[in-house]
Amino acid sequence: MIKKINHIGIAVASLDAQIPFYRDVLGFKSLGTEEVPDQKVKVAMFAVGEVKIELLEPTSEDSPIAKYLEKKGDGIHHIAYETDGIISEIKHMEESDITMLDKVAREGAHGTKIAFLHPKSSGRVLTEICQPGR
């Protein structure tokens, strides 16, 4: 079952250029940065209430985030909903005729398990379901 919004993913060309806005201007608590090699991104995570803001910078020209930036520029990339049972959520989505980009959960930032729904199945919004890890 989906429990809450976990985070909003924002594609950025440069973490160094954007982190000061979220940290210093908005005053959001930094939860750190990390590279996710499988997704070819470096992420910076911030807490604002119970929701997190995830800044995503590509680490490679063939990264999905690099392709997104090339087409659309910096901006909201996806919304992520939290579950404590990602395997059953993926099954539920497929049983509900939702097209999944990930039919099997994969590793995300901060030890999460993640799976994306195809935007055509979710009102043209790239949607992630995630199960927190560490």
What are 51-92's pLDDT values in tens digits?
999 999 999 999 999 999 999 999 999 999 999 999 999 999
Nearest of 9, 4, 3 to residue 127 by alpha carbon: 9
Nearest of 42, 19, 29 to residue 109 by alpha carbon: 42
CATH class as words, domain 2-131 = alpha beta
- Report which residue type is found at 102: D
Q: Looking at the predicted structure, is the pLDDT value of residue 134 above 80?
A: no
Domain layout of the chain by residue ranges: 2-131
What are 26-57's pLDDT values in tens digits?
999 999 999 999 899 999 999 999 999 999 99
Specify whether the CB–CB gap between 64 and 40 falls below 8 A: yes
